[in-house]
Structure 1
């Protein structure tokens, strides 16, 4: 049996003291391949102030000479194996169980690998996460037991990608284009000329998406 992954709780960057999490909306940041918990953390300046932001560190070290961390391997015979994405997503769920108690809601914002893991985590537990932002990522092929529950709940997902992104294989983009509308309430945009990266225009769209999610969460709470 493959050993379970465990996220390093000491490597998480928090925008507020964890003691201030109770009753507040938590947004998890999941970086891409070869980055670490510091990579997406500066994005909090572009996000609504209402969130407590926690930037997680992926559990694996990619093969030398790649820097940083990775959520799952992309090289070798088992590169992009869906089971590895699921294993990483399960580690995120276990981290949430251990460290996000008391949060009014938990959302996900992932880039590239982090985007794929974010969607996979929602598929594992459709009730756990309020929404997800998938930047330059994709939906992992294959079926999971929780897909039917996800399609019934249809949480909000923002998917942003660039026309000049040459990192994510075309077949994964095509799969995601078909899969997402069947399982979630999809919004997003394809950004002309954008490579495998994030632009300020995209971040403005993300902020608008997150503000809408906050409004709906508050409305549900008040109702």
Structure 2
């Protein structure tokens, strides 16, 4: 089993002062391999203003000379050990428990590795997270103890990916195509010509997805 991981509480970018979190809806951004907390923070301008945004840094440093941070090691195209993805998901949950307890809801938005960790955290604690946004990521193969519970809860998940994304191996994409609809309330889109990246059209769809979550929060409070 991998060593327990911990996120650096000082390496977090917030859209609002964390003391303003009480009763508000939080969305946590998880960057991809070789990046850091600054990478996705620029998306804040595209997200509904009602959200507090926290962009966290992954706990590991990838092998030199790769810059930035990583959520779990990658050894070759198929070298993604599920136990390491789970360890990263557990570290994310620990950070949320320590720093986001006052939030009215917590949602996750991840890119690539960060998307895989977002889905893994959702599987570990289906009741803890309101939704997940999976950008150019995948669902990790292998069973987890609460997968059946997740399939009953069926939290909303948006999955966006490009037709020219050659970073995520095809078997992982094929697994995700089958796994997500069986366990979540899935929406999303495949973007023609998009590589392993995020497009304006995708951000428009993410915004619409998040607006829908806000509408659900509001109706649930009535």
TM-score calculated relative to the size of structure 1: 0.98
Give yes or no for contact 2:25–2:50 (8 Å, CA) kept in 1. yes
Matches within 5 A, 1:1-223: 2-75=2-75, 79-222=79-222
Q: TM-score, normalised by structure 2?
A: 0.98
- SS of equivalent residue, structure 1 residue 16: coil
Aligned-partner Cα distance in 2 for 1:151–1:133: 17
SS at match of 1:218: helix
Q: Is the 2:26–2:52 contact (alpha carbons within 8 Å) kept by the matching residues of 1? A: yes
State which drifts further: 67-76 or 185-194: 67-76
**Aligned mates of 1:117, 1:165 — CA distance in 2:** 19
How many pairs align?
Answer: 222
Q: Following TM superposition, where does structure 1 have runs of at least 4 consecutive aligned residues deviating by more than 3 angstroms?
A: none
Partner secondary structure for residue 130 of structure 1 = coil
Q: 1-side partners of 2:127 and 2:84: how far apart? A: 22
Per-residue deviation at 1:2?
3.6
CA deviation vs aligned residue, 1:127-177 (integer Å, no higher than 9, x gap): 000000000000000000010110000000000000000000000000000
CA shift for structure 1 position 79? 2.7
> Retained in 1: the 8 A contact 2:2–2:87?
no
Deviations 1:100-127 (A, max 9, x none): 0110000000000000000000000000
Give the C-alpha shift of residue 76 in structure 1. Answer: 5.9
3-state SS, counterpart of residue 10 of structure 2? helix
* Unaligned stretches of 5+ residues in structure 1: none
